[in-house]
Amino acid sequence: MVSLTTIGLIIGLIDFLCVFIVIIYLIMKKVEIARQGNFIFTSLLIHFIFFGYLSNVYQKSIGEDVLFLYKVMFNSLSFYSAIILFLIVFIMVFREDFFEYGIRNSMWLVPLIIIESWIWYFFIVDFDITIIALYFIRYESYITILSLLGINLLAAITGAFAKQKYKEYFKKLK
């Protein structure tokens, strides 16, 4: 039986490779990589803090619930995961110079979180590629997508509003 530490290291390596592939893609597309640093940093925070919290709370007993994150985020045992996700997205948007980029990036985090939950499922339960096709048939997946989108957009709008008020406050001081 494989230990949780080994699973965590393998998932971390896969996540690092995914981020590396995204960086190479962005370089090849001649996208300004400095603009993407905030998104990459946020994706690493989601991997290590959000999913790390879930793995510490549930360990291997999470089972199929890692696919349908709304069951986990709104469970009384791990309600802090929704707060952690909210804070990560809030910080990402607050750090952006233009809040439009932060809101756009918050929407791009939803597929990233879903793909990462598939990867966790593959390592925790079983490597079955058909789960990706079956994922979009079940109504729980759409509840998950809508709840992730709702949390991310709420955090992004709140972060943009806080950044705007922060800028106005410092203009008054000058």
- pTM (2 decimals)? 0.77
Cβ atoms of 22 and 50 closer than 8 Å = no
Reported as a pLDDT band with limits 50, 70 and 90, residue 154 is very high
Q: The domain containing residue 116 runs over which residues?
A: 4-173
Give CA torsion, residues 65, 67, 73, 78, to 10 deg. 40
Distance separating alpha carbons of residues 26 and 38, to the nearest angstrom? 14
Q: Which residue has the tokens 């803090």?
A: 49
Q: How many domains does the chain have?
A: 1
Structure confidence at residue 28 as a pLDDT band (50, 70, 90)? low
Give the SS3 label for residue 29.
Answer: coil
Please state, in angstroms and rounded to a whole number, the distance separating the CA atoms of residues 38 and 50.
17
pLDDT digit string, tens, across residues 56-95 = 887 777 777 777 778 788 888 878 888 998 999 998 888 8
